[in-house]
Structure 1
Amino acid sequence: MNKTSALELSFQMGEVLLKNGAEISRVQETMERVATAYEIDTFNVYVLTNAIFATGVEQGVEHAARLKHVPSTAIHFGRISAVNQLSREIVQGRHTVEEAFAVLEQVRDMPYSTLPLAVLACAVGSACFSYLFGGSWRDALIAFFCGIALELYLYWTGRKGLSKFLTNLSASALVTFCGAVFLLLGLGDNMDKIIIGSIIRLVPGVALTTSIRDFFNGDYLSGAIRMLDAVLVGGCIAVGVGVVVRALSLLTGGALL
C-alpha cells in the first residue's frame, strides 16, 4: 500500500490507537469509519490486543496487511484523543488522504510528559493516596519521597528495556524498602498506608478497565488477554511488597508488623 492510500491511513490510525492503549472496539470502529469516509470498496478488519489484520479493495486493487502490536508501549491518552478527533474530521470531509497523513504524523510526535513533571505527578499522587487511605501527614510525606524514587526508577528501567513484570516486581520492592527505612527511622506511623500510596502508580487500572470494556463489547479474547496481563502485574506487585516486608520483619524482629 502506498503512502497516499486511504486503506493505509486507516491501518496506521488503528496502529496508533492500539499502541497507545485504546480498547479494541474503538480501534476497529475508527478504522471502519475512515474506510467508509474515503469510500473504500471493501474493507474488513480484525483487531486483537497484539495485532491488526486488515484487508480491503481500493480502486479495484486488493490489499492485505498485518501489524504486530508492541505490548511495552506506554499509554498515551492524548494521542488516542487526537486520533479520535482526526477520524471525526475525516468523516466530516475536512481532510484529503494526504492532509490526514500529515495530521497523523503530528499525532505520532506528541511527546510524553517530561521527566520532572512525571516525577512530581507520581510523588504528589502517592502522597495523596496515602493520606486518602487513612495515613497520617507523616505517612503522606514519606509516600511523596517514595513516589519520587519510584518514577526515577521506572524511567531508568524504561531506558534499559527491562520487562514489564520484572519492572513491577522490582519497583514495588524498591518503594517498600524505602518506606520501611523511613518507618524504622521513626519518621512514619503506618507502614501499610505508606505502601498503598507508594505503589498506586504501578496498579494496572487502565488495563483492567479496558479489559472489562472489551468484555462488554464482545471482544472476549482481547478482554481475557488484558485481564490476564492486569492480574499478572498485580501479582508481581504483591510479590515485590511481600518479600521485602517479610524479609525486613525477620531482620528487625517484627518491627514492621
Structure 2
Amino acid sequence: MNAQPGSIAKVCLLAGKIMLESGAETYRVEDTMNRIATSFGLENAESYATPTGVQFSTEGEVSYFRRISNRSNDLQRITDVNSISRQITAQSLDAKEALLLLKGIEHQSETFPLWLQFIAAALASGSFAIMFGGSWSDFLPACIAGALGYAAMIWIEKLIEIRFFAEFIASFFIAVIAAFSIHAGFGQHLDKIIIGAVMPLVPGLHITNAVRDLVAGHLVAGISKGVEAILTAFAIGAGVAVLFAFFP
C-alpha cells in the first residue's frame, strides 16, 4: 500500500497513543507501531514509547511525538487497536481508513458504563473480603464500602486530576465506611472489610506491566510503572492509616 510518510506516522502515533492511554505495555506499543509502518511499506521506522509519551521517526523524515497525559485500564481498546493492526498487516486497510477507525476508538465512550463499574467494584470487594477470611456478615459492608470508595476515586480524580490524591481520599473514605459499619453492628472484621473494599483500587495491572516491561528490556518504562504502582499502594495504605491514627 502506497501512502505518504506523514499519514503513516499519524496512524502509528495514534495507535500507540491509544494503547498507552489504555494501559498497554510499552514493548507491545512499539511492536504494534513498527508492524503498522512495515505493512505500509515504510522501512527503517523507529518508535519509542514511555508511559508519558510516544515518538515515531523514519530516516530522512521529521520525528513525530505525542504526549500521554491520562492513563487508565481499558483492555478492550487495546484489543480494538490490535485488530486494526492485524487488518493493516493483512493489507485490507489503507492509511486513511485505519486513521478513521483509530479516531473512532479514541473518541468512543467508556467500554462499560459507570453504574456497571460500581456494581463490579461492589461484588469484587465483597468477594475479596470473604476470600481473605471474613465472614458472610462482612460481605455487604465490604460491597458498600468498595462501591462508594471506587465512586469517590473517579469523582475526585475528575475534579482534581491527581490520581494519587484521589486514591488516598478514596481509601480513607472506605476505612470510614468500614469503621461505621462495625460500630453500627454490621460486619464482624474491620480489617477484612477494608482489605476487600480497597482491592478495586490496587494497581495490579500496573505491577504486571512493570514486570513485563522490565523482562522485555524496557528499563525506563518498567521502573517508572513500578514506581507509579508503589506510590499508588502507598496512597491507599496511607488513606487507611489516617483513620487509625486519629481513631485508634
TM-score by length of 2: 0.94
Decide which moves more: 168-177 or 2-11: 2-11
Q: 10, 22, 25: which one pairs with 1:23?
A: 25
Amino acid in the other structure paired with 2:235? C
- Once the two structures are TM-superposed, the CA of residue 3 in structure 1 deviates from its matched residue by 10
- CA distance in structure 2 between the partners assigned to 1:40 and 1:103 by the alignment: 20
- CA distance in structure 2 between the partners assigned to 1:110 and 1:132 by the alignment: 36
- 1:136 and 2:138 aligned: no
Give the match for residue 94 of structure 1: 92
- 1:8 and 2:10 aligned: yes
- CA distance in structure 1 between the partners assigned to 2:144 and 2:189 by the alignment: 15
Alignment map for 1:166-181 (pairs within 5 Å): 166-181=165-180
Alignment map for 1:31-42 (pairs within 5 Å): 31-42=33-44
Q: How many residues align?
A: 245
- Once the two structures are TM-superposed, the CA of residue 41 in structure 1 deviates from its matched residue by 3.6
- CA distance in structure 1 between the partners assigned to 2:21 and 2:150 by the alignment: 22
Change (3 A) 1:196 1:213: same
- CA distance in structure 1 between the partners assigned to 2:53 and 2:117 by the alignment: 29
Decide which moves more: 7-16 or 154-163: 154-163
- Once the two structures are TM-superposed, the CA of residue 4 in structure 1 deviates from its matched residue by 6.9
Give the match for residue 64 of structure 1: 63
Give the match for residue 117 of structure 1: 116
- CA distance in structure 2 between the partners assigned to 1:141 and 1:170 by the alignment: 21
Give the match for residue 218 of structure 2: 219
Amino acid in the other structure paired with 1:17? M
Contact 1:33 1:87 in 2 (8 A): yes
- CA distance in structure 2 between the partners assigned to 1:177 and 1:159 by the alignment: 22
Decide which moves more: 222-231 or 101-110: 101-110
Contact 2:5 2:42 in 1 (8 A): no
Secondary structure of 1:75's aligned partner? coil
Secondary structure of 2:45's aligned partner? strand
Change (3 A) 1:4 1:220: closer
TM-score by length of 1: 0.91
- 1:76 and 2:71 aligned: no
Contact 1:4 1:97 in 2 (8 A): no
- Once the two structures are TM-superposed, the CA of residue 106 in structure 1 deviates from its matched residue by 2.0
Amino acid in the other structure paired with 2:87? E
- CA distance in structure 1 between the partners assigned to 2:158 and 2:234 by the alignment: 24
Give the match for residue 253 of structure 1: none
Give the match for residue 49 of structure 1: 51
